[in-house]
Homo-oligomer: A and B are copies of this chain.
Amino acid sequence: MERADVIPLLGEVFRAHGFEGASLSAITAGTGLGKGSLYHFFPGGKEEMAAAVLQDIDGWFERAVFAPLRDEPDAAAAIRASLAAVEQYFRSGRRVCLVGVFALGEVRDRFADEVEGYFARWRAALAAALQRAGRPEAEARDTAEDAVLTIQGALVLARALDDPAVFTRALARLEHRLFG
């Protein structure tokens, strides 16, 4: 077992329990690793584990969502592809956004840079794509902000109502709003 293999498992534990709720015993249960191994990989304890998870998630979004939105020549196609990637990543509404969970908690301040950076880059990358797709700058920025927050809100409401369809409906409306 390597450090890199542990991080996704840690991610699911933090996603399910939040930062304060993710006790070491929940983490050992979720990873199958004892405290000894955990502290061997992450000498900084829970804080280092959470930081590693945030970096891992950020890296995934950077590669799969942000970079294509910024660089793909066909901006409209990149936007559509990013929505599909997001739908898959959040398991069609059955999975929650860890960065969003952290953002709402007091833990937000401890990881302020990571949380802010994630959402700021998402919004900026989508705004850039919308502008390349022909929208005026101000409208592109507004629409991008609306899209990012719609995805977050859809995840909240889907979990609140225990109805993943809320998320898929919201993404469908969003796509219609972006292109229709």
A residues neighboring B (CB under 8 Å): 16-18, 20-21, 96, 99-101, 103-108, 112, 115-116, 118-120, 142, 145-146, 148-157, 159-162, 166, 169-170, 173
Contacts and interface: CB of A to CB of B under 8 A. Distances in A.
Nearest to A170: B149
A103 B145 contact: no
A116 B160 contact: yes
Contact of A108 (B149, B151, B159, B170): B159
A100 B156 contact: yes
B20 A120 contact: no
B104 A157 contact: no
A149 B160 CA distance: 10
